[in-house]
Amino acid sequence: MTEELALEISDVSINFGGIQALDSVELAVAKGARIGLIGPNGAGKSTLINCVAGDLRPDTGSVRLFGESISGASAPSRARLGISRTFQNLELFNAMPVIDNVTAALDVRIRGRARVSGARSRAREALASFGIEKYADLPAGSLPYGIRKLVELSRAFVREPEFLLLDEPVAGLSQPEKFLITLVEGLDRLGCAVLLVEHDMPTVKSLCEYVYVLDTGALIAQGTFAEVASDERVVAAYLGAEA
Ligand SMILES: Nc1ncnc2c1ncn2[C@@H]1O[C@H](COP(=O)(O)OP(=O)(O)OP(=O)(O)O)[C@@H](O)[C@H]1O
Ligand SMILES: [Mg+2]
């Protein structure tokens, strides 16, 4: 059963100097599934993403990726298992051209000319899929926020992940609908699972078949978008009465 899961989080807790950022969280993502993670500011969403990607170690609990326990594994070794992520606060090399930012995500160890040019053509394809290939030779730091978000996403996609962690990919984009269409095309092509953290509810509603809701570190609801959106605790803690 476990090998059908891309991700299985069990009893994960983490405390930062008295702040219980995650409190016994249980969450699963089936292979190829599109799962949402929502909740108010400070709920622990990015902390959970960091615990899965290996950028943080939980105090207790276990994280399994594709059926393997990865609790002790580094971020790079988790990436080699097929996981890619984006950061809420973009982590680009601002002085480097966009194309080099994306090529760097491929981790080309062998320096042969064919390998490098192969990596660059894959990077160009990834940029083209998000409609931003015309920025390839410009320094990433010189571009508007919305374009940098798409560069970050190109970095995640160029690795052809089996499981993608997205931390607020839509925030700051002027055309989230257009972005979503491209994202879904990419996920379909790769058969890739996704765990999406997002405050933009139309995006969560249209992408995610199942949604978890965190509040002050604890899960307060889970179900389809319609189910959680009508849950009294979710309305009170996050969505407000107008939802
Ligand atoms: N490295 C850290 N050291 C100390 N406290 C932290 C650290 N990272 C997060 N926190 C705290 O943990 C809690 C959860 O933060 P987190 O960033 O996971 O929230 P979030 O759900 O992603 O919020 P947002 O929607 O604003 O991005 C917050 O109270 C935050 O201040
Ligand atoms: Mg966050």
The predicted pLDDT at position 108 comes to: 57
Sign of CA dihedral 101, 102, 106, 110: negative
Which residues form ligand 1's pocket by a CB distance below 6 Å?
16, 19, 21, 39, 41-47, 88
216 forms beta bridges with none
Supply the residue whose CA is at minimum distance from atom 27 of ligand 1. Answer: 41
> Of all atoms in ligand 1, which is nearest to the CA of residue 56?
1
The predicted pLDDT at position 57 comes to: 94
Query: Ligand 2 centre and the CA of 45: distance in Å?
Result: 5
Burial (Cβ within 10 Å: 0-12, 13-18, ≥19) of residue 194: buried
The residues whose Cβ lies within 5 A of ligand 2, an ion, are 45-46, 88
Supply the residue whose CA is at minimum distance from atom 18 of ligand 1. Answer: 44
Task: Provide the CATH topology of domain 1-82+161-243.
Answer: Rossmann fold (3.40.50)
| 3-state secondary structure at position 167 | strand
Of residues 181, 190, 182, 188, the one with CA closest to residue 162: 190
> Of all atoms in ligand 1, which is nearest to the CA of residue 88?
27
Angle between helices 113-129 and 145-157 (to 10 degrees): 130
Rounded distance, CA 159 to CA 165, Å?
13
Query: Ligand 1 centre and the CA of 75: distance in Å?
Result: 19
The predicted pLDDT at position 241 comes to: 58
Render each residue's pLDDT in the chain as its tens digit; 243 residues: 555 899 999 999 999 999 999 999 999 999 999 999 999 999 999 999 999 999 999 999 999 999 999 988 998 889 888 999 998 888 899 999 999 999 998 875 555 666 777 889 999 999 999 999 999 999 999 999 989 999 999 999 999 999 999 999 998 888 888 889 989 999 999 999 999 999 999 999 999 999 999 999 999 999 999 999 999 999 999 988 555
Of residues 96, 97, 171, 160, the one with CA closest to residue 125: 160
> Per-domain residue ranges for the chain?
1-82+161-243, 92-160
Global pTM value: 0.93
The predicted pLDDT at position 195 comes to: 98
- Which structure tokens are listed for 221? 């609801």
Query: Ligand 2 centre and the CA of 39: distance in Å?
Result: 10
Q: How many CB atoms lie within 10 A of CB 37?
A: 28
CA atoms within 13 A on the CB side of 212: 22
| 3-state secondary structure at position 99 | helix
The predicted pLDDT at position 113 comes to: 66
The predicted pLDDT at position 76 comes to: 87
Ligand nearest to the CA of 37: 1
Ligand nearest to the CA of 200: 1
